[in-house]
Amino acid sequence: MKSPQQLCFDDARSFFEEWQRHPESSPLDSSSILKRLQEIEMEIQATGSYTHRFEELVFGARLAWKNSNRCIGRHLWRSLEVRDHRTLHQHPNREAQIIQALQTHLKDAFRGGKIRSVVSIFAPRIPNQPDEVRMANHQLIRYAGFEAPSGITGDPHSVKQTQHFENVGWSPTNRGHFTPLPWQFYFKELPSQPHDFFASHPELLHEVSISHPTCEAIESLGLKWYALPVLADMALKIGGVVYPFAPFNGFYMGTEIGARNFGDENRYNLLPAIAACFDLDRSSDRSLWKDQALVELNRAILHSFDQAGITIGDHHNLGAQFEAFCVHESNQNREIHGDWTWLNPPLSASQTPQFHRDYDNTVCSHTNFFYQPPIWKKLQLHRASSGCPFHL
């Protein structure tokens, strides 16, 4: 069995080999890479890990996005803007500095609605030591789910995390369907108090009110969703070095909101309400009222984001763009891996190119984004493994 040091070096070597297969992005020739790997090997032997140069961090973060089998938007990987915050935890007022960095991330990523993909990378994981900084949140922006005997108000997906925040002191003044969760940080696994960030910074929330191009009744439902999806609990791994806190964002594909967040029965479960707005026959599922409601709900999402001037993709255009990306990579003799079950949208999948392709779902292990247990669960679960190749 290989030692952790050898595994780290093997991943580093694989990363640089992959970099060489992208000559348009590589500033290093073969001799320079060999010299760099010798430096890395010595550093790993001495410390158990190594420190990325800035250009390695930038390409590595972009490559991790490109290697993300489940993401249909990764054809934009070269445009990812990389923010280096690896030493911010050393600041005397570290929590305030990290909050400021995340606040800047939200501002710069939103960009007046013309959403830019950004990743903010914080301290790397040091072998056999607690992580310097993590965040309890699944996303920087996420709605709470409040459980009561009468049912759930808000997002059912957030119920357990909402209970966690309330258990550690969060007392929201508003307990509605669209109440943003607070932020909470862990420094070397020690928790901070939750910050009700969006209560004091509502200008950074950027919500879209949902309406429909022809059905006024949908607007009366009072639906809305936040514009910017920023994942905060995945680990970024670059050439064997893990960054456990590296929030990153792309932009939404309409079906993520309309077909899943709003449409799923175990989420907001809005199809019955949408069907009522259109006076659809719900006496039997054979009337296909769910299908009609799902299409209209997704029309409403795209219409509303367009009306607000905020970037959103649709499954037809993104599917065509991803197919063009696959063809380009094939022409460059570079293999694209993919998870068919994720690359196909939850609406009209057979009308997209991904439905008719086969993908090798082998996960690139040296440079990628990986799921990890949320830090507020980790201390209870002792990092129990799910056996999923997407998990660290």
Can you spell out the DSSP letters for 6-24? HHHHHHHHHHHHHHHT-GG
State yes or no: pLDDT of 47 exceeds 50: yes
Task: Report pLDDT for 23.
Answer: 79
Structure tokens at 20: 């060489």
Structure tokens at 155: 């997002």
Q: How confident is the model at residue 386 (pLDDT cuts 50, 70, 90)?
A: very low
State yes or no: pLDDT of 384 exceeds 80: no
Task: Report pLDDT for 381.
Answer: 54
Q: How confident is the model at residue 392 (pLDDT cuts 50, 70, 90)?
A: low
Query: Tens digits of per-residue pLDDT, 227-257?
Result: 999 999 999 999 999 999 999 999 999 999 9
Q: Domain limits at 326?
A: 1-87+117-132+235-250+318-371
Query: Mean pLDDT over residues 125-147, rounded?
Result: 96
On whether residue 354 sits in a domain, the answer given is yes
Task: Report pLDDT for 28.
Answer: 73
Give the global pTM: 0.94
Quote the mean pLDDT of the chain: 94
Q: How many helices (H) and strands (E) does the chain have?
A: 12, 14
Task: Report pLDDT for 24.
Answer: 79
On whether residue 60 sits in a domain, the answer given is yes
User: What is the number of structural domains in the chain?
Assistant: 1
Tell me which residue of 147, 142, 145 sits closest to 183, measured CA to CA: 142
Task: Report pLDDT for 30.
Answer: 83
Structure tokens at 285: 């599922």
Task: Mention every residue, 6+ apart, whose C-beta is less than 8 A from residue 350.
Answer: 356
Task: Report pLDDT for 391.
Answer: 58
Query: Tens digits of per-residue pLDDT, 63-107?
Result: 999 999 999 999 999 999 999 999 999 999 999 999 999 999 999
Element (H, E) at 299: helix 289-308
Tell me which residue of 207, 89, 67 sits closest to 143, measured CA to CA: 207
State yes or no: pLDDT of 190 exceeds 60: yes
On whether residue 244 sits in a domain, the answer given is yes
On whether residue 124 sits in a domain, the answer given is yes
Which tops the pLDDT comparison, 31 or 325?
325
**By the 8 A CB rule, do 268 and 143 touch?**
no
Task: Report pLDDT for 27.
Answer: 72
Rounded distance, CA 230 to CA 232, Å? 6
What is the end-to-end Cα distance of the chain in Å, rounded? Answer: 18
On whether residue 348 sits in a domain, the answer given is yes
What percentage of the chain's residues is helix, strand, coil (to nearest 5)? 45, 15, 40
Q: To the nearest whole percent, how much of the chain has pLDDT over 70?
A: 96
Query: Tens digits of per-residue pLDDT, 116-125?
Result: 999 999 999 9
CATH number at residue 58: 3.90.340.10
Element (H, E) at 249: strand 248-249
